[in-house]
Chain A
Amino acid sequence: KAGVTQTPRYLIKTRGQQVTLSCSPISGHRSVSWYQQTPGQGLQFLFEYFSETQRNKGNFPGRFSGRQFSNSRSEMNVSTLELGDSALYLCASSMGVAGEGVSGELFFGEGSRLTVL
């Protein structure tokens, strides 16, 4: 079956602009989580969604937001981009919510590489 699809794969923006990233999970997966990966900080948790509800949010400013649609597809938005937002943004899907009787094995997409100039 098809894996997790993230679009766009690469994008370049300038400071102050905003960006929307999209994630289509594996069919049947209802949980989607987002991560920011940078060389200095590693993989940092952004948000987790299950059945259109945000279950958790990481320690990121309010400029970072997300949502999940009824078909489990998810989007994240970053407004007022800063140079430090340059990173690989990874989306992962899983069958259910980890810790609720589910091991939560994550299936990652290839990521969206954002460069802010």
Chain B
Amino acid sequence: SQKIEQNSEALNIQEGKTATLTCNYTNYSPAYLQWYRQDPGRGPVFLLLIRENEKEKRKERLKVTFDTTLKQSLFHITASQPADSATYLCAFYGQNFVFGPGTRLSVLP
């Protein structure tokens, strides 16, 4: 079945550093990948979409890459801030939306 894995359940980094989150997918070749942010007790919020023919996409301090050979997307937050602490979800649409388990990022002051 179509599946997404995210590199770690939790990631702690120091404020000001770059956070890198990994999303690996199997059994499908999606036309695009999406990244969402979810705060505790809230619904996910869309952040970025990257298509299969795009190597990289940027939005302010966020950068996403998409490697269809490795079946992997990397999500970077540069100059991280405590307000970036949240769970980040990777998703693609196959027969329906498939979400990864998420990585809980904690940015320590």
A interface residue numbers (CB < 8 A to B): 4, 33, 35, 42-43, 45, 48, 56, 58, 88, 90, 92, 98-99, 103-111, 113
Q: Can you name 18 extra interface pairs (CB under 8 A) apart from A104-B34, A110-B43?
A: A33-B97, A42-B100, A43-B89, A43-B102, A45-B97, A88-B41, A98-B93, A103-B49, A106-B34, A106-B36, A106-B44, A106-B46, A108-B43, A108-B44, A109-B43, A110-B42, A111-B42, A111-B43
Central interface residue in B31, B46, B49, B102, by most chain A CB within 10 Å: B46
Max chain B C-beta neighbours (<10 A), residue from A4, A99, A106, A110? A106
Q: What class of interface size applies to chain B in its complex with A?
A: 20 to 34
B45 contacts the other chain (CB 8 A): yes
The smallest beta-carbon distance between A42 and chain B, in angstroms, is 4
What sequence of 0s and 1s flags, for each residue 63-99 of chain B, a beta carbon within 8 Å of any chain A beta carbon?
A: 0000000000000000000000000010101011111
A98 CB contacts on chain B under 8 angstroms? 93, 97
Closest 5 CB pairs of A and B: A108-B43, A43-B99, A98-B93, A42-B101, A56-B96
From known contacts A43-B99, A45-B98, A110-B42, infer whether A105 and B93 are also in contact, taking CB-CB under 8 Å.
no
B contacts with A: majority SS: strand
What is the minimal beta-carbon distance from A22 to any residue of chain B, in angstroms?
A: 15
> A4 CA to B100 CA in the complex, in Å?
22
A9 nearest CB neighbor, chain B only: B41
Which B1-57 residues have a C-beta within 8 angstroms of A?
31-32, 34, 36, 41-46, 49
Chain A residues near B49: list those with CB within 8 A. 103, 105
29 sample A-B contacts, Cβ–Cβ < 8 Å, listed by A number: A4-B43, A33-B96, A33-B97, A35-B99, A43-B44, A43-B89, A45-B96, A45-B97, A48-B96, A48-B97, A56-B96, A90-B43, A92-B43, A99-B93, A103-B34, A104-B93, A105-B34, A106-B34, A106-B44, A106-B91, A106-B97, A107-B46, A108-B45, A110-B41, A110-B43, A111-B41, A111-B42, A111-B43, A113-B41
